[in-house]
Amino acid sequence: MRRTPALIVGGGLAGAATAIGLARAGLPHLLVERSRETGDAICGGFLSWRTLETLAGLGIDPDTLNPDRVTRARIFAGNRRADAALPHPAVSVTRHRLDTVLLDHAERLGTPVERGVTVREIDGRTVRTADGATFAPDALFLASGKHDVRGMARPEDARGPDPTLGIRVRIAPSPPLARSLSGGIELHLFDRGYAGLAMQEDGTANLCLAVHRSRLQAAGSPAQLLALLGREMPALGEWIALIDGNAPIDAIANVPYGWRQRTGVEGVFRLGDQAGVIPSLAGEGMGIALASGVAAANAYAQGGPAAASAWQETFARRLARPIGIASLVRRAAESEHAAWLLPFMRPALIQIIANTTRMSQS
């Protein structure tokens, strides 16, 4: 059995942010990550102005991620469209780039990282891995993202009767797409789902969908769903037509949008999507992950493992407003009547929604 004062499970945004905080505080810790190489998580890749502030506090210059800024949003539903400037400039970046920069920064500060370690089960604070090893930390930071770990799984009823799936496909660099998306993002609303589109630092466009299972089942497969949406929504279909037929389509099932971990236990900090899952159309999922890591590291530095319970409840309260408002907007966006609501989405209202779905300051 291996002992460590603090064990971070997961080397994504929440885990890396925690590691940076603990390393800066000079607190001994260990980070384990299941992947041997940094991948590219299924994610919209949108960093809001509030998230950029969090990254700056961690020592990350946004220009090292993507020097271009996102300043406006276009929303499509049926044959209607609404446009608005964002309250402040944002950034779009691949998760591969962002995760690499953050974890490299943590390692430079002294975080020990062990890759290729898959956590299979957590019992209290006892962590068992796929290779038979056991860790017994004084404090556990669970940063496994959307992937649940046996013994710490989020409740099944949080998924709802018609669960949501996340789907992501990359669109290869294209001059028309680059011109259209320069400085902007697109959100396409349809019955039982929505799609977001943004240009990333590597020149590709990231097309991410949140779709209820019933809608995907009716289409047959992710590829068939994309083809169907392309026919139904010309503004989106123009870009779907650019997708390479051999491009991989990544998917993750049963995303519990709207769920929060409201109670805590001593010694266990649940971070990122393990603390709360905001509907992805808000574009604040990565911000929540980073903010949770920063806040949990601060709480541990001040109060040790005993601080975990109160911290979890406090963080759940911080999530209440952005997740609550984003959930209301999501329900309207996924309605078959979304096109009729779009004329009421004035620029001022879009900016209010954009601001109120950001994480509050701690």
**Rounded CA separation 264/172 (Å):** 44
Phi/psi of residue 18, nearest 5 degrees:
-60, -45
- Residue 176 burial (CB < 10 Å; 0-12/13-18/19+)? exposed
**Rounded CA separation 156/256 (Å):** 8
DSSP run (H or E) holding 231: helix 222-232
Q: According to CATH, where is 3.50.50.60 located in the chain? A: 2-56+94-156+258-356
Q: Is the pLDDT of residue 105 over 70?
A: yes
User: Would you say 84 and 212 are in contact if contact means Cβ atoms under 8 Å apart?
Assistant: no
Local structure of residue 198 (DSSP, 8 states): E
The residue-averaged pLDDT of 25-42 equals: 94
The residues, any chain, with a CB within 8 Å of residue 160's CB and separated by 6 or more, are: 256
Instruction: Supply the pLDDT for residue 89.
Output: 97
Q: Is the pLDDT of residue 145 over 80?
A: yes
Average pLDDT, the chain: 95
**Rounded CA separation 183/310 (Å):** 41
The rounded radius of gyration (Å) of the Cα atoms in the chain is: 20
Confidence of residue 362 (pLDDT cuts 50, 70, 90): low
DSSP run (H or E) holding 86: strand 80-92
The pair of three-digit structure tokens given for residue 315, joined into one six-digit string: 């963080």
The pair of three-digit structure tokens given for residue 310, joined into one six-digit string: 């109160």
- Architecture of domain 159-255 in CATH? 2-Layer Sandwich (3.30)
Dmax of the chain from CA atoms? Answer: 61
CATH class, domain 2-56+94-156+258-356, is alpha beta
Instruction: Supply the pLDDT for residue 349.
Output: 87
Instruction: Supply the pLDDT for residue 346.
Output: 82
Confidence of residue 336 (pLDDT cuts 50, 70, 90): confident
User: Would you say 29 and 6 are in contact if contact means Cβ atoms under 8 Å apart?
Assistant: yes
Instruction: Supply the pLDDT for residue 91.
Output: 97
Q: What is the pLDDT of residues 227-244, one digit of tens each?
A: 999 999 999 999 999 999
Phi/psi of residue 49, nearest 5 degrees:
-60, -35
User: Would you say 267 and 138 are in contact if contact means Cβ atoms under 8 Å apart?
Assistant: yes
**Rounded CA separation 300/50 (Å):** 23
Q: Is the pLDDT of residue 43 over 80?
A: yes
The pair of three-digit structure tokens given for residue 37, joined into one six-digit string: 């190489």
Listed range (32-41, 88-97, 334-343) with the worst mean pLDDT: 334-343
Residue type at position 331: R
Confidence of residue 335 (pLDDT cuts 50, 70, 90): confident
User: Would you say 261 and 326 are in contact if contact means Cβ atoms under 8 Å apart?
Assistant: no
The residue-averaged pLDDT of 28-53 equals: 93
User: Would you say 229 and 237 are in contact if contact means Cβ atoms under 8 Å apart?
Assistant: yes
Where do the DSSP E strands lie in 44-79? 46-47, 70-77
The residues, any chain, with a CB within 8 Å of residue 236's CB and separated by 6 or more, are: 76, 186, 188, 195, 197, 229, 230
User: Would you say 41 and 66 are in contact if contact means Cβ atoms under 8 Å apart?
Assistant: no
The residue-averaged pLDDT of 275-288 equals: 96
Look up the pTM and report it: 0.96
